[in-house]
Amino acid sequence: MTKLLPPHGRSVADVAKEEGIPHGTLYHWRNELKLQGEPVPNNKDNTKNWSPKAKFAVVVETAHMNEAELSQYCREKGLYPNQIHQWREASINGVATDVVDKKSHQSKLKSSKEEIKSLRKELRYKEKALAETAALLALQKKLHALWEIEDEEV
């Protein structure tokens, strides 16, 4: 099946002839790949369902191509050159923003840890206060019970 995917991107007929696999089997496998969002030959479906991995594979595969080769490639794959340009820009921007996102994530993580620490401290304080209040209520009930007994004896 990898022969159907980039960077090979060969047709079903070529692979079937070379490998001796029935066309129907390869078409079935190709349709399964389509459902998973993988780029397959002669796939005229909407590329929004393509996985990021598949889009990146196309970007890498077409990186060395000139405009004429890129246009031919796009016709074979059912793509538009501007889609590949957008995917390339997204890949570049993704790497650039990854560093910023990592720093942002680390600062958020640090502040979250500090918040968790302060909330745990507050929770311990409130648990102690609740335990003290419960003890005072229990003593108060015992005191009232003791006074009622003394009143009855008098």
Average pLDDT over residues 51-64: 85
pLDDT tens readout for residues 109-139? 999 999 999 999 999 999 999 999 999 999 9
Residue 87 is predicted with a pLDDT of 87
When pLDDT is cut at 50, 70 and 90, the band that residue 95 belongs to is low
Structure tokens at 11: 């047709």
- Could you tell me the pLDDT band of residue 77, with boundaries at 50, 70 and 90? confident
Supply the pLDDT for residue 139: 94
Task: Please tell me which residue, 24 or 39, carries the higher pLDDT value.
Answer: 24
pTM higher than the cut 0.75: no
Give residue 47's pLDDT: 64
Please report, for the chain, the start and end positions of each structural domain, with discontinuous segments joined by +: 12-99
What contacts 6, CB < 8 A, 6 or more positions away?
A: 39, 54, 57, 58, 60, 61
* In contact, 77 and 9? CB cutoff 8 Å: yes
Instruction: Identify the pLDDT of residue 115.
Output: 96
